[in-house]
Amino acid sequence: MAHVADRLVDTLVGLGVRNVYGVAGDSLNAITNSIRPRSEIRWVPVRHEEAGAFAAGAEAQLTARLAVCAGSCGPGNLHLINGLYDAHRSHAPVLAIAAQIPSPEIGRNYFQETHPELTFRECSYYQAVVSRPEELTPALEKAVETSLSRRGVSVLVLPGDIALSRAVGPPPRPRSGSAAVPPRPSPAEIAELARFVRGAKKVTILAGSGCAQAREPLLALAEKLRAPIVHTLRAKEALEHDNPFDVGMTGLIGFSSGYHAMMDADLLLMLGTDFPYRQFYPEKAKKVQVDWDATQIGRRAAVDLGVVGEVGTTLTALISAAAPKTDDGHLKASLAHYGRSRSALDDLATGIPGKVPIHPQYVAKVVDELAADDAVFTCDVGLPTVWAARYLRMNGRRRLLGSFWHGSMANALPQAIGAQNADRTRQVVSFSGDGGIAMLFGELLTLRQLELPVKVIVFDNSTLGFVELEQISAGFPKADVDLVNPDFAAVANEVGVRGFRAEAPEHVRPMVSEMLAHPGPALLDVVVARQEVAMPPTLDRSVVKGFGLWLIKAVLSGKGDEIVDLAKVNLFR
């Protein structure tokens, strides 16, 4: 006799789902029992449901297929919420199975009763409660189709007793969930877009993740317009490599060259981006935005023209309609500025034997040089994201995942778990902060239990580093950011993960090499400089007023061996 749980698992197997991440619980027994004897799908036990949701989100981003996580009733599925927020905001197709208390008890304030269909409403496109066995088929079909077509989270609330009930009616047969074809701009819109381009002397392109599938027409347009390309962090892996027009990023962790390329333009082409920091948009330049999602047009900055359409199709049409530009002064100046910025950052990534503390930039550079050409990197928020963004080189095969939109701590290790589960033969490296690794430290036990060969770099500076910089540069005394850390390598060795500890620059390269060569899970604890001075791309009063003091200092370019009390810095000099 097939149970509702069997129907659910059969459907997941048919969709190609290979992993279900979660923590076992009594309300999930029917599902885990249905998974257990199968070879096509497996239950992946994590130590915290939040990690399971992060892992599912990472797997979905890497494979572009549906990924699944699950939580038992009440607290179990509530723990999923942070990882689900991240997956949803990262456009990762994830199905969350939220087990529920026995159906006759719902609404009676029963032990562990919550209402996940309400709790997860803000971090999912679809929520359904399966109250009777016959409701599984339509609810599961809709959940799967919604996640795949809209690229986000769907939540299926399933009471434990319903999961154990006999299946009724036809089995679910969800459609592929292919996304609807975005509207094509009309000839009139393309003509208007070409008119804006024709009237501009200095064009700068701000390219976001929506350009990932439009690389060739994007480069062709930049060539025709002699336009520098500023890319967002989420577009780094697709657009940074082999790009003769790239001038880096802008924003909180960007390059001064990217900032100035936008500020010096008289036309900004915003392509497939929802870049959020309004203070980094130029005030005087005209702005044109192209996006397949009409709700994103003008959301961050007022635009002079908005075009709804898929970026690649739109750019192909624009290339034919736009007149070529011969003046490349703006491009050359932007590229020269980028060269100076890049050189200055590279100068910081040095490791002089015997000179401590270790520069975190040097650690990132060494990892970049020694990691595989198709490695998957994950990075915690804050300073690990800075080092990943600035020193990890993308080549079209490497991937970079992080909590780039939701901005959660402790994302890197669980995302690495999902990435490694997606492909156990691929090298996966986590850039973890000491605060992040400690928050979900139990997932090291997951690495050991599952024998996942994830490599974890811990940037150990004994502080919540980015928060400390925020406090000091805002004029506050630093407080409540100090971390009393253990020897992370010793702890890793104790739980069966190979541990290394680097306390001097000469330790870094040999230890990174040995760690990457280790066949199982490994962790390198690197004691790095506590502070890297934060300096802005510009210090004029209008920027200070717009950003707040800490924001204008968030473009990091200082030297770790020149520690400055930022509270005493005269921002207006």
Task: Quickly list DSSP for 11-65.
Answer: HHHHTT--EEEE---GGGHHHHHHHTT-SS-EEEE-SSHHHHHHHHHHHHHHH-S
Cβ atoms of 157 and 130 within 8 Å: the answer is yes
The side-by-side arrangement of strands in the sheet containing 19-22 is 42-45, 19-22, 67-71, 94-100, 153-159, 126-129
Which ranges of 64-186 does DSSP label H, i.e. alpha helix? 75-78, 81-89, 116-119, 136-150, 160-163
| Confidence bin at 179 (pLDDT 50/70/90) | low
| Confidence bin at 479 (pLDDT 50/70/90) | confident
Instruction: Answer yes or no: 431 catalytic.
Output: no
Coil, strand or helix: which one is 378? strand
pLDDT above 80 (res 560): no
CA 350, CA 346: separation in Å to the nearest integer? 8
pLDDT above 50 (res 562): no
What pLDDT, on a 0 to 100 scale, did the predictor assign at position 570? 31
Token pair of 339 as six digits? 């060269």
CA dihedral 401, 406, 412, 417 (to 10 degrees): -80
Number of H helices, E strands in the chain: 24, 17
CA 353, CA 348: separation in Å to the nearest integer? 15
Non-local (6+) Cβ contacts of 96 within 8 A are: 53, 56, 68, 69, 70, 71, 77, 80, 84, 120, 124, 153, 154, 155, 156
pLDDT above 60 (res 549): no
Higher pLDDT, 82 or 1: 82
**Which helix (H) or strand (E) element contains residue 448?**
helix 443-450
Token pair of 458 as six digits? 């811990």
What pLDDT, on a 0 to 100 scale, did the predictor assign at position 5? 98
Using alpha carbons only, give the angle 144, 374, 335 rounded to the nearest 5 degrees: 105
Coil, strand or helix: which one is 433? strand
Q: Which domains does the chain have, with CATH numbers?
A: 4-163 (3.40.50.970), 187-338 (3.40.50.1220), 349-527 (3.40.50.970)
Cα 497 to chain centroid, rounded: 25
What pLDDT, on a 0 to 100 scale, did the predictor assign at position 572? 26
User: Which residues are 286's β-sheet partners?
Assistant: 267
Amino acid at 504: A
Exactly one of 112, 289, 427, 531 is catalytic; name it.
112
Instruction: Answer yes or no: 112 catalytic.
Output: yes
pLDDT above 70 (res 442): yes
What pLDDT, on a 0 to 100 scale, did the predictor assign at position 391? 96
What integer is the mean pLDDT of 202-214?
Answer: 96
pLDDT above 90 (res 566): no
CA 224, CA 217: separation in Å to the nearest integer? 10
Token pair of 71 as six digits? 């939580």
Instruction: Answer yes or no: 111 catalytic.
Output: yes
What pLDDT, on a 0 to 100 scale, did the predictor assign at position 180? 61
What integer is the mean pLDDT of 376-402?
Answer: 96
Cβ atoms of 554 and 522 within 8 Å: the answer is no
User: Which residues are 377's β-sheet partners?
Assistant: 400, 429
Exactly one of 4, 381, 429, 491 is catalytic; name it.
381
What pLDDT, on a 0 to 100 scale, did the predictor assign at position 274? 87
What integer is the mean pLDDT of 65-69?
Answer: 97
What pLDDT, on a 0 to 100 scale, did the predictor assign at position 175? 82
Token pair of 540 as six digits? 């004029």
Nearest to 153 by CA among 120, 115, 114: 120
CA 447, CA 520: separation in Å to the nearest integer? 9
| Confidence bin at 571 (pLDDT 50/70/90) | very low
What pLDDT, on a 0 to 100 scale, did the predictor assign at position 183? 77
Nearest to 301 by CA among 318, 317, 314, 283: 283
pLDDT tens readout for residues 102-158? 999 999 999 999 999 999 999 999 999 999 999 999 999 999 999 999 999 999 999
Instruction: Answer yes or no: 572 catalytic.
Output: no
CA 5, CA 379: separation in Å to the nearest integer? 36
The length of the chain in residues reads: 573
CA 460, CA 163: separation in Å to the nearest integer? 45
Q: What secondary structure, in 3-state letters, does 287-317 show?
A: EEEEECCHHHCCCCCCCCEEEECCHHHHHHH
Question: CB-based burial of residue 103 (10 Å sphere; 0-12 exposed, 13-18 middle, 19+ buried)?
Answer: middle
Cβ atoms of 205 and 228 within 8 Å: the answer is yes
pLDDT tens readout for residues 482-534? 889 999 999 999 999 999 999 999 999 999 999 999 999 999 999 999 866 43
Exactly one of 245, 377, 459, 466 is catalytic; name it.
466
Exactly one of 49, 59, 240, 310 is catalytic; name it.
49
Percent of the chain scoring above 70 in pLDDT: 91
Token pair of 96 as six digits? 């969350």
The answer, yes or no, to whether the previous bond of 357 is cis (omega within 30 of 0) is yes
Exactly one of 111, 216, 283, 476 is catalytic; name it.
111
The CA–CA distances, whole Å, from 359 to 28, 209, 354, 559 equal: 47, 30, 12, 8
pLDDT tens readout for residues 285-302? 999 999 988 999 999 999
What pLDDT, on a 0 to 100 scale, did the predictor assign at position 177? 62
pLDDT above 50 (res 312): yes
CA 374, CA 396: separation in Å to the nearest integer? 8
Lowest mean pLDDT among 13-17, 177-181, 455-459: 177-181
CA 116, CA 127: separation in Å to the nearest integer? 8
Computed from CA positions of residues 544, 547, 552, 553, in that sequence, does the dihedral angle turn out positive or negative? positive
Lowest mean pLDDT among 168-177, 391-400, 471-480: 471-480
What pLDDT, on a 0 to 100 scale, did the predictor assign at position 145? 96
Which ranges of 266-373 does DSSP label H, i.e. alpha helix? 311-321, 329-348, 360-370
Based on C-alpha coordinates, what's the Rg of the chain? 25
Token pair of 485 as six digits? 């850390």
The mean pLDDT of the chain is 90
Token pair of 132 as six digits? 């009777």
CA 301, CA 431: separation in Å to the nearest integer? 32
Cβ atoms of 226 and 328 within 8 Å: the answer is yes
What integer is the mean pLDDT of 188-206?
Answer: 97
CA 119, CA 566: separation in Å to the nearest integer? 41
What pLDDT, on a 0 to 100 scale, did the predictor assign at position 480? 85
pLDDT tens readout for residues 86-98? 999 999 999 999 9
Instruction: Answer yes or no: 275 catalytic.
Output: no
| Confidence bin at 555 (pLDDT 50/70/90) | very low
pLDDT tens readout for residues 235-251? 999 999 999 999 999 88
What pLDDT, on a 0 to 100 scale, did the predictor assign at position 178? 60
